Amino acid sequence: MRYKDLNELSDVGLVGSNADWHNLPKEVYKSVKKEKLTLLRTLHDRISTDAKLPMPPVRVEPFGWVSPDGMSVVFGKTEWFALKDGSYFIGVLMPVSTLVAVEDQVLLRRILCHELRHWFWYLQKLFHGGESVDPALY
Ligand SMILES: [Zn+2]
């Protein structure tokens, strides 16, 4: 389980240490705090409205990701999160590199919809007793 320091189940937010966030270039940190989170929140809400289903919570961490073989960029994944009260949820985790590299809102929405599909797939596996299924799907 990741991020036991989460305090709340808001729709969109940041995870990771303050030190890691402040290691990013200032422009990146400012842009994420001022604009990118708002954009993510807007896309999150629109997807929920369009799908007539709740989009899972989305969290952004202060890193860039590549695939395990190092050959491709990873834009997001589904992941377990733990709240301080001991409860858990499955949400979407994105590296900040996605918000920096993907300026096109249509593409960012597609990435979120892709993760929504993984979220459904994972829930379906859980309902059918697939507890050994790795929730970390790219
Ligand atoms: Zn995928």
Distance from the CA of 120 to the center of ligand 1, in angstroms?
12
Distance from the CA of 130 to the center of ligand 1, in angstroms?
18
Average pLDDT estimate for 98-102: 96
Q: Which of 16, 23, 4 is nearest to 94 (CA)?
A: 16
Distance from the CA of 116 to the center of ligand 1, in angstroms?
10
What does pTM read for this prediction? Answer: 0.86
β strands within the chain, DSSP E: 2-6, 12-14, 58-61, 77-83, 88-95
21-44 pLDDT per residue, tens: 999 999 999 999 999 999 999 999
Phi, psi of 31 (to 5 degrees): -60, -40
